[in-house]
Amino acid sequence: AQSVAQPEDQVNVAEGNPLTVKCTYSVSGNPYLFWYVQYPNRGLQFLLKYITGDNLVKGSYGFEAEFNKSQTSFHLKKPSALVSDSALYFCAVRDRTPLSGGSYIPTFGRGTSLIVHP
């Protein structure tokens, strides 16, 4: 079984300050980890992913995330927040081992609303 927890429903940060959106996961094997962003009235858009290699992953719009295996976390970060970063952020995980038949189903968190104040 696999699961994702995003412990904060909402994160508030002032423009120019660093931001962190938290994500912890649980999988039976090794994880593939993803962050997606959803702007109002839009579908989810891919931000970044961790597959293997360097634990610090850089993605779109200046975002980055750090894979921490011991803490089973994959927190999303940005050094300096912009008002335009305000959106809903989703963490997702799937096990590297496919289901029978070679298929994969990712599990998404409930989402965290990021509000950046001017």
Which residues sit at the interface with other proteins, rule CB under 8 A?
32, 34, 36, 41-46, 49, 51, 90, 94, 98-99, 101-106, 108, 110-111
Measured in Å, how far apart are the chain's first and last C-alpha atoms?
41
Residue pointed to by tokens 């409930």: 110
Closest distance of CB 55 from other proteins, Å: 18
Using CA atoms, how far apart are residues 62 and 58, in angstroms rounded to an integer? 7
Closest distance of CB 12 from other proteins, Å: 19
Give me the half-sphere count of Cα atoms (radius 13 Å) on the Cβ side of residue 104: 13
Closest distance of CB 118 from other proteins, Å: 26
Of residues 15 and 32, the one with the C-beta less far from other proteins: 32
Of residues 28 and 41, the one with the C-beta less far from other proteins: 41
Closest distance of CB 4 from other proteins, Å: 11
Query: Where is 24: in which H helix or E strand?
Result: strand 24-26
Residue pointed to by tokens 């599990």: 107
